[in-house]
Structures are given as C-alpha cells and as structure tokens.
Structure 1
Amino acid sequence: MAEQRQIRFGILGCATVARKLARAISLAPNATISAVGSSTAEKAAAFAAENDCPATAKLYGSYDAVLDDPDVDAVYIALPTSLHVRWAVLAAQKKKHVLVEKPVALNAAELDLILAACESSGVQYMDATSWMHHPRTAKMKEFLSDPLRLGQLKSVHCNVSFSVGETPDVDALGDNAWHSIGAVLLTTDYELPESVTAFRDPEVNEAGVILSCGASLKWKDGRVATFYCSSLADMAMDIFAYGTAGKLRVHDFVTPFPEQSAPSFYTFESYRLIEHGVNSELPQDALMVMEFCNLAGSGSSPEKKWAVVSRKTQLVVDAIMASIHKGFETIEVVY
C-alpha cells in the first residue's frame, strides 16, 4: 500500500482548547501544522511559540489568510461556536477538510449548512470529540453490541461535569452535554430517542448561559436514559449502561486518567465484575487526528459516518433546549 501523504493543518483560533490539538497534530505521524491564524499576527506568533509549532508554520493575523494558503489541506476550527458555521462553510468552499471543535453549531440548521458545504466540495468533515477515537471506545461498543454479555439494553445514565466556575462562555448544555449525549447514543448504536424532557430548574448565570442541566430520554421500546452536565460541579466523566444480562461502567470516558497506559472500563457479567484494560500508544487526541488525516488523505469519497454522528448529537441538544424554553415539555426528536 502506498504511504499516505501528510495532511497540512491550518489552525483557526488560538483559544486554550487549540493547545491540545496543536500537541495532537505534532504527535500524529500523518499531520503537521502549516499555518496558524488569529485576530492578530502577534497572537498567532505567541501561540506558535508556546505550542512548539514547526518553524515553517506561517503565522497570520486573519482567518481568511489561512483559508487562502495553498499549503493548507485541512483546518481545525477552535473559534467560538457562533462563528463555526461561517468559517467551516468558507473552509469547505475553499476545498479544505474540516475538523471543528464541539459543540459544532448553535443548532441543527447551522450544522446542516456546514455538512452541505463539505459534501458539495467533497471534503472530509469531523467534529473534535476525541474520546470516540480511543480504542477503548471500540471495545466498549463490542460489549454493548453483544446480546450474550449485555443482553437487552434497558437504561443508561451519564454524568459529565468540569468545575470551571461561572464563566460566561462555558455553556454546559452545549459543551459537556455534547459528551453526555454522544455517550448515550453510543450505547444505542446511534438510534435516536423518541423524545426528551429537560429537568426543571437548570442553573443559569446572569448572561443566560446554562451552567448545569439534565434531561431524560425515552425510546419506543422502553429504553430510558438520563444525563447531568455541569460547569460548576467537581469533575465527573461517568457512564453506566444496564442490560438484562450485564452492565457497563466507565469513570473517565471523556478523558482517560492514564493518558496512554491502559485505561480500563468495567462490566458486570454473570455476577462477576470484570476489568478491561485497553492500551494505546498515543493520546486519544492524536488518534483522532490520525483518523481524520487517514480519511482526508485517502483519495476516496469522504466518510459520512462522522457527519451523521454530529447531526444526531445536535438534534438531541436542540430538543433539550426546546424543552427548557417550552417549560420543560416533552419534545419529540425527529431526524
């Protein structure tokens, strides 16, 4: 098999979250940072210096300049969510592959614009939910899909919280809930719930940003799920899935506590608690970048799986927001 070419990244935005991806790109053998764009060239230069970007990386004081650079194959968009649709669509129109930070968009209508632009231009799309690319997640999926080990899935509970204080730009529903909803959908093989109902009295700051909230999800066959997300509570990254024959428990599914060694998850089968260790040579962020680059550089049609996963996650986020705005009514989820 011919060796795939290295994908050259342009980074749009120098927020804190971009630091992790800059490191991941440097660790991925099929990726390199070719350009950094910020609101000023000085900010781009500071980011490049602080994150050991290659000396060859071009530093721009605008995002347009990154998109116009012929030496950029793909962009990683680390801008505020409200700016994602504009810059992701422009990137796709300029034939750049798109890796965009989550939450991907303010709503499904915006996300559809991004996905349509990527499809029209034939570029790869992926959201930056890195835990989905850890080999542990694939092993969890194997267990969840095994009728002899889990049996019939009956209920799921997920809790994701990171105590960052009442920062106006940290929306627990948009950010932490993206992980929670993604984990719940993983357990159902991405079958959408029939309906969702937001829990009453979410915590909201003076700017109207949701700091903590929760919801229940129901499927037609009786399966149920609940989740809680918060930017105030102490760190939690738990998921519990209960079936008729066994159950699954993970305490660090978003960011494994041991970054590479052997993150574990637990199953309870035939009245026995079983620990499953899963090794990884690279951090999950680098594994995500590797997979994205493999798809972007394959020369074949873009993989649509990640677009479907993003859209289903966004639809559930939108339904929960609608439930909150409509007095915590039950809202039907329609694909």
Structure 2
Amino acid sequence: MAETLIQIGIVGCADIARKVSRAINLAPNATICAVSSRSQEKAAAFAAANGLPLSAKVYGSYEAFLEDPEVDAVYMPLPTSLHLKWAVLAAQNKKHLLLEKPVALDVAQFDRILEACESSGVQFMDNTMWVHNPRTAAMANFLNDTQRFGNLKSVRTCFTSAADSDYLSRNIRVKPDLDALGALGDHGWYCIRAILLAANYELPKRAVASYEPVVNKDGVILECGASLYWEDGKVATFHCSFLGNLTMDITAIGTRGTLHVHDFIIPYHEKESSFLAGTETTFDDLVTGWAKQPIKHTISTDLPQEALLVKEFARLVSEIKFKNSKPEKKWPTISRKTQLVLDAVKTSIERGFETVHIYE
C-alpha cells in the first residue's frame, strides 16, 4: 500500500495549510512528502507543528521544492497574486495541482495555468472543500430530480463572517498586492459555486453587481453582492461579506420543491451534515401552519469533507500515474466557470453596476 500513496507537497505555510495537511494525513491514499516556504525555518516550524511525517522534506525555496522528482502533486495555498507564477511552474515540473481558491485574479490568468497543466498532462483541482461532502451529492440529486424539485426558478446564497480589526488590517485577503479580489474572491467564490451547482453548472448569461459594495482604504472589496440571469428566466442572487455575522446559506426554489441549507461551506458537525428539502409544501386548511413541511435529510461521513477532497484528488493522480489515464476535465471546467462569473461581477462593479454578459 505504501508504494501507491500519492506523495503530496505543500507550497507555502498559510493558515489554511494546517487544515489541509491534516486532511492529507487522514486521506487513505495520500501522504505529505515535503513542505516549502520562503525560509527553511518557517517550513521546519510548520512541519513540526502540524504532525508531518518525519520523512517529509523541508525546503526554504519554492523552486527547489518543485524540482524534487519524488513529489507527485502539490497543494498551493499561496496568495492569489502568486498563483500564476508558481502554479505554472508546478505544472511545468509535472506536478499535479491542488490550488487554493480563488484560482486566479481573472480567467485569463487561469487559462494560462490550465494550459500549463494540459501541456504537462497533470490533474488540476481547486480546494473548494464542501463540494466533496457527500451531502452535496445528495443535494444535487434532489435539485436534479424533476419529480421532487421540478425546474429551478431561483437561488439565493450568502456567506458572511465578522472579521476582527486585526484581520481587516493585516490579512492577505484585504491586501491589494496579495488577494486583490477581497471578499468577492474569498467568500463570493463559494456563493457562486453553490449557484452553479444548483443550476447544474449552466453558466448564467448576465451578471449585475449590487449597488455600493463596501471597500477598504486600498479599494479591496469587503462586502458585495450581485444578481445573475439565465435566458430561460432563472435568476440567482448572492451576498458576501467580511463584515456580517457568520452565515452560510443556500435557498434554491424549483417549480415543485425547495432546498434550504444553513451551513453549506463548513458543516455544523464535521462528520454529519443536513439539508431541508420540501416538495409541494402547503399550508393547512385554515392557513395557520404548514400542512406539509420540508424534510430534514442528514448524511454521515467517516472522513471530513477536506479529507474526501484530498482522497478524490489523489485517486485521480493515481489513475494518471499508475494506469496512464488522462486528467479529469470536470474539475478545471467547474473552476473556470466559477472564475468567469466572479470576473463578470467584478467588471460590473468597476463599470458602475452595468450588466455584464458572460461568455464561455
């Protein structure tokens, strides 16, 4: 079994890398073989603090790390502004790529990353964890069931979190030279992905940003929203913010049913999560209550969703490495669609909340 473990290295010691290193340790088909930072000391401290195997190599240089032939794949939690340079170099060095979201500053940059991955025949996946939770598959089954849910009419998503003063002044997500997309890139990414999931990944045709987003002194978005429109009449809205109490909601309304989720990004419980599904819900005769109510569906899992993400990523890498399979195109396609919508919303804000058309 040890010979078949996918050897994953970590590029950068961001805080989220703590969570992903634990996920790699939990995944049955992967192991951490190396970690790199801009300094040897920081990489060594990360390895010691996060239970990395004693065999894991420690690098004080990204370049040297990416040249290591024993590294099969890399997890890259670097600031978004650094993705293009280092993701392309990772792909050129034949490393399969698990990239933190947002994947790029815009779709043009992301296309260059994808081109490098395709040229080298390596797998790409972004680190959107919640879509790998088995609850998400159950939700998708309900949303795509025309007998229970019907046809999608509208979706509303929201992800807010109350950042403290230290976060709002020092975190990379509020720095224009590091993560210039701010709350739109971080929280909005999840909202857009949830909308696309509800629409079975059909791209909307138009995006209109909500008026007056909140920005910091450097012009980085701290709070914003948008509406999305499809040609068949579907509509979606989302709101994302670093300035509101923690909320992670999806409401999807169909012609026959409704889906509600209140913890879609990070479940209330690590190994158990739920959603509400209502089909042809109705009032009672006197309209004093609900005669038919939504049903709570609870799904359990042996592994947390981030470990399931790593497990799937490592499975795809293993198929390529040991069975000469081709990279799975599903994940880069979904990432690109998410980036396209994000770009359209950003453009709408920059153009004074004009309608922006979205093209594949």
TM-score between the two structures when normalised by the length of structure 1? 0.98
Query: What amino acid maps onto 2:336 in structure 1?
Result: R
Between the two proteins, what is the percent identity of the paired residues?
A: 56
* 1:293 aligned onto 2:334: no
Q: Which moved more, 1:189-198 or 1:161-170?
A: 161-170
Query: What amino acid maps onto 2:350 in structure 1?
Result: H
Tell me which residue corresponds to 1:71: 70
- Choose from 183, 194, 199 the match for 2:210: 199
Deviations, residues 82-103 of structure 1 (Å, cap 9, x unaligned): 0011111111111100000001
- CA change 1:54–1:4 in 2 (3 A) is closer
* 1:246 aligned onto 2:257: yes
SS at match of 1:14: coil
* 1:169 aligned onto 2:172: yes
SS at match of 2:75: strand
Displacement of 1:275: 0.7
Partners of 1:233 and 1:65 lie apart in 2 by 42
User: Contact between 1:12 and 1:63, CA under 8 Å: does it hold in 2?
Assistant: yes
- CA change 1:246–1:316 in 2 (3 A) is same
Partners of 1:152 and 1:68 lie apart in 2 by 50
Partners of 2:218 and 2:47 lie apart in 1 by 32
Tell me which residue corresponds to 1:311: 336
* 1:255 aligned onto 2:266: yes
Tell me which residue corresponds to 2:241: 230
Displacement of 1:3: 9.7
Poorly superposed stretches of 4+, deviation over 3 Å: none
The runs of 5 or more residues in structure 1 that have no matched partner are none
TM-score between the two structures when normalised by the length of structure 2? 0.91
Map of 1:107-146 to 2, 5 A cutoff?
107-146=106-145
User: Contact between 1:4 and 1:30, CA under 8 Å: does it hold in 2?
Assistant: no
Displacement of 1:123: 0.4
SS at match of 2:301: coil
Deviations, residues 91-120 of structure 1 (Å, cap 9, x unaligned): 111110000000110000000011111111
Partners of 2:50 and 2:172 lie apart in 1 by 23
SS at match of 1:293: helix
Deviations, residues 53-97 of structure 1 (Å, cap 9, x unaligned): 111111110111111111110000010000011111111111100
Map of 1:256-275 to 2, 5 A cutoff?
256-260=267-271, 262-271=272-281, 272-275=293-296
Deviations, residues 109-148 of structure 1 (Å, cap 9, x unaligned): 0000111111110000000001011110000000000011
Query: What amino acid maps onto 2:279 in structure 1?
Result: E
Partners of 1:87 and 1:6 lie apart in 2 by 24
SS at match of 1:318: helix
Partners of 1:227 and 1:333 lie apart in 2 by 17
RMSD of equivalent CA atoms:
1.2
Partners of 1:320 and 1:259 lie apart in 2 by 32
SS at match of 1:191: coil
Partners of 1:163 and 1:6 lie apart in 2 by 39
Deviations, residues 299-323 of structure 1 (Å, cap 9, x unaligned): 3100000010000000000000000
SS at match of 1:151: coil
Deviations, residues 242-298 of structure 1 (Å, cap 9, x unaligned): 0110100000110111101x2100011132310111111000000000000000011
Displacement of 1:169: 2.6
Partners of 2:87 and 2:140 lie apart in 1 by 30
Partners of 1:259 and 1:291 lie apart in 2 by 18
Partners of 1:34 and 1:161 lie apart in 2 by 35
Query: What amino acid maps onto 1:185 in structure 2?
Result: L
Partners of 1:270 and 1:73 lie apart in 2 by 50
Displacement of 1:4: 8.3
Displacement of 1:195: 0.1
Tell me which residue corresponds to 1:276: 297
Partners of 1:198 and 1:70 lie apart in 2 by 45
Query: What amino acid maps onto 2:201 in structure 1?
Result: Y
Tell me which residue corresponds to 1:328: 353
- Choose from 220, 226, 239 the match for 1:215: 226
Partners of 2:115 and 2:4 lie apart in 1 by 26
* 1:187 aligned onto 2:198: yes
* Equivalenced residues, count: 333
Partners of 1:176 and 1:62 lie apart in 2 by 30
User: Contact between 1:4 and 1:294, CA under 8 Å: does it hold in 2?
Assistant: no
Q: Which moved more, 1:157-166 or 1:231-240?
A: 157-166
The runs of 5 or more residues in structure 2 that have no matched partner are 174-181, 282-292
Partners of 1:4 and 1:294 lie apart in 2 by 14
User: Contact between 1:115 and 1:307, CA under 8 Å: does it hold in 2?
Assistant: yes
